[in-house]
Amino acid sequence: MKITFMGAGSTVFARNVIGDCMCSEALRDSVFALYDIDEKRLEESRTILEAMRKAKGGYGKIECYAGVENRKAALKGASFVVNAIQVGLYDPCTIIDFEVPKKYGLRQTIGDTLGIGGIMRALRTIPVMKDFASDMAEVCPDALFLNYVNPMAMLTGYMLRYTPIETVGLCHSVQVCSDGLLNKLDMSDKLEGRKELIAGINHMAWLLDIRDKNGVDLYPEIKSRVDGYLAKPDADDKVRMEYIKNFGYYCTESSEHNAEYNMFYIKSKYPELIEKYNIPLDEYPRRCINQIEGWKKEYAEMLEKGVMEHERTLEYASRIMEAVVTGEPYEIGGNVLNTNFLISNLPEEACVEVPCLVDGYGIHPTRVGALPVQCAAMNMTNINVQLLTIEAAVTLKKDHIYQAAMLDPHTGSELDIDTIRKMVDDLIDAHGDFLPKYH
């Protein structure tokens, strides 16, 4: 069996996912094909993973494929393809995503999922994923494509609507959602044996129901503790706690993400909100810089001291592969198309995040029904932007980029239409050849 990892220069993530596969008896004898356009980073990943492979008993085989000219060879015959690419990297493209909007007074925190940063990230990534899908249709048409790349809903939605490749989008935030909430509210005694239902869209899927091991609804106690938590000056996660107060439900992704998915918290006319909610502006560029420096240090230490023992992580990828290979069912929170209205009050062409069962026949999404109307309404403000961005990528019409930016909740609440259009034009110019030509 062959497992191909696209963007294997993302060494830490490649180590986690492929290391997880090496921990699985069903997967460890696989050929692990590493693909990247950066030869230096690819070699770093090979060095680490080869050491891990030997430490795990020497099972399987690692192959490396550098450059676009070797992409088909990397994909040929794969059963699973893991996607972890970053088109344009931190420098220059993430810098552009933050610095150009800042000139217009538009501030962001993460910029990888929604907002003008998320829109531009999707527009430069979709053409590359289109090429991946074309190659896969030729050399591994039956492979399952596991997408970990943001903006999740836009990229996974594109793959599912416009390519023949079986695709599921995966995010870490579902696994840790209720655990984080209960720990923050000093309710860790309720963790064991809890049951929960999470559904919505990526990074804004709602914890719709949570019960303890005896079936007792935990939301009344959760809600009774929210004000006390919000009163703590240095508390993090205040935006999501406010969601509980104002919309009745907690959601999956962090407050630094959700601060920019709406029109409520990052407002130039109300600068005091930044401090009140502990919103970290320009957070993603800081993370990128720290991760780049951190990896240099970690890699040097590994070369000197050897590779540390890998324990299987919470990432879904290896569990999905294992379920498909062995037929033993496994439940995930997956990003899939809203076919046959899995969530009945969201559009059918939307990419939704719902419970899915995985077995030897693939991914089986669960029908959830209707979300609470206020939760569906919040999701729709994001889905509008997602669908228009995909439309722009498919049609190459610049008007759809303008429209996506205009309808983005944060952008539209801060800037007028003429300014939005100028900002989009500047972003397109700054991205240069990282984007196709729009008309």
CB 254 within 8 A of CB 237: yes
Report in angstroms the alpha-carbon separations of 74 from 2, 40, 53, 80.
9, 17, 19, 11
CA-wise closest residue to 152 among 116, 114, 197, 98: 114
Catalytic residue IDs: 172
CA-wise closest residue to 136 among 72, 200, 188: 72
The DSSP output letter for 114 is S
Helices 417-431 and 115-139 cross at an angle (nearest 10°) of 50
Q: Which amino acid is at 107?
A: R
Work out whether the CA dihedral 284, 17, 368, 352 comes out positive or negative.
positive
The DSSP output letter for 89 is I
CB 382 within 8 A of CB 374: no
Characterize the bridge pairing of strands 351-359 and 330-337: antiparallel
**Distance between CA atoms of residues 157 and 16, nearest Å:** 25
Q: Which amino acid is at 209?
A: D
CA-wise closest residue to 390 among 311, 330, 337: 337
Token pair for 197? 């239902």
Work out whether the CA dihedral 384, 390, 395, 398 comes out positive or negative.
positive
Helices 238-247 and 219-230 cross at an angle (nearest 10°) of 130
Tell me the HSE value of 189 on the side-chain side, using a 13 A CA sphere.
2
**Distance between CA atoms of residues 92 and 37, nearest Å:** 16
- Beta-bridge partner residues of 4: 33, 81
**Which residues does 105 contact at the CB level (< 8 Å), separation at least 6?**
268, 414, 415
Residue carrying the six token digits 């990247």: 36
Tell me the HSE value of 153 on the side-chain side, using a 13 A CA sphere.
27
**Distance between CA atoms of residues 323 and 303, nearest Å:** 34
The DSSP output letter for 331 is E
